[in-house]
Chains A and B, each alone.
Chain A
Amino acid sequence: MAEKKCCCCELNSEKLKRLDQIIEEHKTMEGALIPVLHEAQELFGYLPEQVQQKIATGLGCSLAEVFGVATFYSRFTLEPKGKYNIQVCLGTACYVKGADKVLEKLEQLLGIKAGQTTEDGKFSIQDTRCVGACGLAPVMVINDEVYGKMTPDMVEGILAKYN
């Protein structure tokens, strides 16, 4: 795993206690690792090494296995996301209607690429595959708010709402 700052000090103990509970609840379940990772990510927002280690010990598997699964699935992230996570749908329906140009504009305005987070931790951009709102293509989602029928011109005004 890549060298990273120690994250233990950042994780609060109450959440870690909750993680213990989650692991306990799933211990006897067949194929528990993925459900536990889902809940852990919900809890912490991402899956730092310490959390992965705790899950490995708790479920009786190796850290390598946990890391292998966490990195296989695109929904799991090892890095914290920005306060506002902006998803630009690059499903086929959105793509043929110019979603790539919306993404380009967003990257240009925020000065980051898809998959990155702004230095102040405020915004991150994620290119996603089909959020299923194809009738509204192209679609951009900021946290839970959905913006449909997007054009590159609309991006700046929408970002201003979050600044």
Chain B
Amino acid sequence: MKTIKELDEIRKSVYEKVKTRVGVESKTEKKSILVCGGTGCTSSKSPKIVEELEKGIRERHLEDKAEVIKTGCFGLCAKGPIMIIYPRETFYTMVKPEDVEEILTEDIEKGNVVERLLAKDIETETLAHTLHELGFYKKQHRLALRNCGRINPENIDEYLAFDGYKALEKVLLEMTPSEVIDTVLKSGIRGRGGAGFPTGRKWAFAANVEADQKYVCCNADEGDPGAFMDRSVLEGDPHSVLEAMAIAGYAIGSNQGYIYVRAEYPIAVNRLKIAIAQAKEYGVLGSNIFGTDFEFNIDIRLGAGAFVCGEETALMTSIEGKRGEPRTRPPFPAVKGLFGKPTILNNVETLANIPEIILKGAEWFSSIGTEKSTGTKVFAVGGKINNTGLVEVPMGITLREIVYDIGGGIPNGKAFKAAQTGGPSGGCIPASHLDTPIDYDSLMQIGSMMGSGGLIVMDEDNCMVDIAKFFLEFTISESCGKCPPCRIGTKKMYDILDRITKGLGEEGDIEKLEELAQNIKKSALCGLGQTAPNPVLSTIKYFREEYEAHIKEKRCPAGACKNLVQYKINEEKCKGCSMCARNCPVSAISGEVKSPFKIDPQKCIKCGLCMQKCPFKAIEKK
């Protein structure tokens, strides 16, 4: 247990050590080597790099010259593992354990930059010495991710150094619960989990209910495929979520919080456990926080792989230890939630914003973004795009800016076809809407939704019917089965799509899909079912001609649907080397050496191996 004075002393002394990381000059000559320890970089061996660095520093007796810090995600996952060396802020990318020797000798000992490890800006083709020189970072505004890549998430002192737990101190000592709710309301922040409900209103509902026990839950069951924003916040800055939950607890009158997090996120779970233990040790969680009579504790509950548990009532049922099935509302969780008590549920990213709103004020926050969508939004950008990774942008930025300025455009000279937001509940945005501002209402208007922040880019090789089918397959396997529209309706829609992609589509299929979709939207019990038809509806809306080509001409314009594709050998390009025939697993290709070969369409199983193996690119897919 630390007193306010002791915490301030820690803040002051640690800030001296870490301030170079925010561009403040420091007298210290010791270099800080920050290595990304997020899931992406960990997968490409960043722990080994940390190990080698620590070993090298020990062996060379460089302890006074450099220290190694494992941080959360820097965002540019495509170029991982990433390392930043302060105070010069040198930004090294795609670092391998073998590079450590050279980094220690050249950079740490001699003070030179290892140029071959610098990233090249895609547009200007110049070497970037610091991350600010990369187009990827120029339009970003890191607010929820403020500490990701800046602090060691396993060390509470570094969180404290950047005003950590100051917001909690402020609300407990200077504000009434209703002032806290008022500030959150005025900031205009809306739920970052997807639906965009105003956070302050949610808190106000729960605060107004009289009860002997209330709960604060954090939704970290990030189930959308292709989304990893919440995971990155938990991995990079777990204390910001804990602090925000305590603030929420004070605001609504609760002393117990639960974080429901995916078991598939072992690094995040581990860092949360460490953070909770440290927060208890320092007395910023537990009883009599900051000498007041406010008490707040947080427990972790692991999800077990059910997408539907991202829905609020299902999530609470799951924390209760049951099958995670949703139930009808009302009663809303603010009245009757977890264990039958008033409960608020906020998403990880929403919570990560709260301490900043308290410290810097509602006006500051609402000055960022647009009038109705204030603040920033974190997106996990993936798919057919050069700079895959995590980006945080002010609301109102256009999709074009995200895809081209930040994302660096589409690889291999291909054309942008669509961006998918909102995961299985969202829709596909076509090129004609690239200039749509990204905010809750504009996305809704064009048939997609903000969603939790997955943004998958697709190019001309992706078939939109196939993508719609992909999402429905997901919904079918994740439907809990409680209500028939979702359980049976989505399966029926899937069956129609499956026929279409196999060349068995019939006249009237599109209309049938639309009718089923409308009925499911109207009658399904929870958000999962109600939004499940969205990927189908939005692809029909923007890519109807692609559906028609499948149905009427039995043709897949993108060349992705296997049953509709035919492989042909271009006689002009074929040199008769027989490579294709030798590799064909079903002997469907024949011919004489040095004259053009032929594929027998009856025997061909369309595996595409011949196309991969042909040295002359003579095999075409139609």
| A interface with B by C-beta (< 8 Å) | 30-35, 37-38, 65, 68-69, 72-76, 90-93, 95-97, 101, 128-137, 139, 146, 148, 153
* Contact with A91, one of B226, B301, B304, B322 (Cβ below 8 angstroms): B226
Q: Are B320 and A30 in contact (CB under 8 A)?
A: yes
By a CB distance below 8 angstroms, the chain A residues around B224 are: 130
CB within 8 Å of A: which of B84-135? none
Chain A CB within 8 A of B578 CB? no
What's the minimum C-beta distance from B309 to chain A, rounded to whole angstroms?
8
Decide if B253 is an interface residue (CB 8 Å cutoff). no
Whether the Cβ atoms of A91 and B306 lie closer than 8 Å is no
0/1 interface trace, chain B 224-259, chain A, CB 8 Å (1 if under): 111110010000000000000000000000000000
Report whether A35 and B39 are in contact in the complex, using a CB–CB cutoff of 8 Å: no
Answer whether residue B420 sits at the interface, using C-beta atoms and an 8 A cutoff: yes
- Cβ of B467 and Cβ of A96 under 8 Å apart? yes
Across the interface, do A34 and B318 meet the contact criterion of CB distance under 8 Å? yes
Give a binary string over B316-334; 1 marks a CB under 8 Å from any A CB, 0 the rest.
Answer: 0011111110000000000
Q: Which residues of A contact B223 (CB under 8 A)?
A: 129-130
14 contacting pairs across A/B (C-beta < 8 A): A37-B304, A74-B304, A74-B306, A75-B264, A75-B303, A75-B305, A92-B420, A92-B471, A93-B383, A134-B40, A134-B380, A135-B382, A135-B388, A137-B383
Which of A73, A93, A129, A132 contacts B39 (CB under 8 A)? A132
Docked-complex contact A90 and B225, CB < 8 angstroms? yes
Q: Taking the complex as formed, is B351 at the interface, i.e. its CB lies under 8 A from any CB of chain A?
A: no
Complex CA–CA separation, A92 to B462 (angstroms): 12
Residues of A within 8 Å of B480, CB to CB, are 72
Report the minimum CB–CB distance from A93 to chain B (whole Å): 3
CB pair A93 B382 closer than 8 Å: yes
List residues of chain A with CB within 8 A of the CB of B533. Answer: none
- Least Cβ–Cβ distance between B423 and chain A, in angstroms: 7
Chain B's closest residue to A130 (CB) is: B225
Residues of B in contact, count (CB < 8 Å): 51
- Report if B275 contacts A (CB, 8 A): no
* Nearest Cβ on chain A to B453's Cβ, whole angstroms: 12
User: Does B587 count as interface, using CB distance less than 8 angstroms?
Assistant: no
**Which of the listed residues A30, A96, A130, A132 has the most CB atoms from chain B within 10 Å of its own CB?**
A132
A92 to B524, CA, bound (A): 24
* Contact yes or no, A92 B383, CB < 8 A: yes
Residue B263, interface by CB 8 Å: yes
* A72-B263 contact in complex given A92-B225, A97-B384, C-beta closer than 8 Å: no
Q: Per-residue 0/1 for B61-78: is the Cβ within 8 Å of any A Cβ (1 yes, 0 no)?
A: 000000000000000011
In the assembled complex, B470 has its CB within 8 A of some CB on chain A:
yes
Residues of A with C-beta under 8 A to B231: 132
Please provide the chain B residues from 374 to 416 with a CB less than 8 Å away from any CB of chain A in the complex: 380, 382-384, 388-389
User: B residues within 8 A CB of A139?
Assistant: 43
Q: How far is the CA of A57 from the CA of B322 in the complex (A)?
A: 16
The CA-CA distance from A73 to B458 in the complex, in Å, is 31
Cβ contact of B264, chosen from A38, A97, A132, A135, cutoff 8 A: A132
Question: C-beta contact mask, B454-477 vs A, less than 8 Å → 1, else 0?
Answer: 101010001000010011001000
Q: Are B40 and A135 in contact (CB under 8 A)?
A: yes
B485 within 8 A of A: no
Task: Give Cα A136–Cα B420 distance, bound, in whole angstroms.
Answer: 18
Q: Which of B151-210 contact A (CB under 8 A)?
A: none
Chain A residue nearest to B299 in the complex (CB)? A29
Answer whether residue B612 sits at the interface, using C-beta atoms and an 8 A cutoff.
yes
A35-B301, A96-B458 given; A72·B324 CB < 8 A: yes
User: Which of chain B's residues has its CB closest to A100's CB?
Assistant: B470
Measured in the bound complex, the distance between the Cα atoms of B388 and A32 in whole Å is 39
Q: Judging by beta carbons under 8 Å apart, are B304 and A135 in contact?
A: no
| Of the residues B225, B302, B380, contact of A129 by C-beta under 8 Å | B225
Partner of B462 from the list A33, A72, A73, A96 (CB cut-off 8 Å) is: A96
Q: Which B-chain residue is minimally distant from A134 (CB atoms)?
A: B382
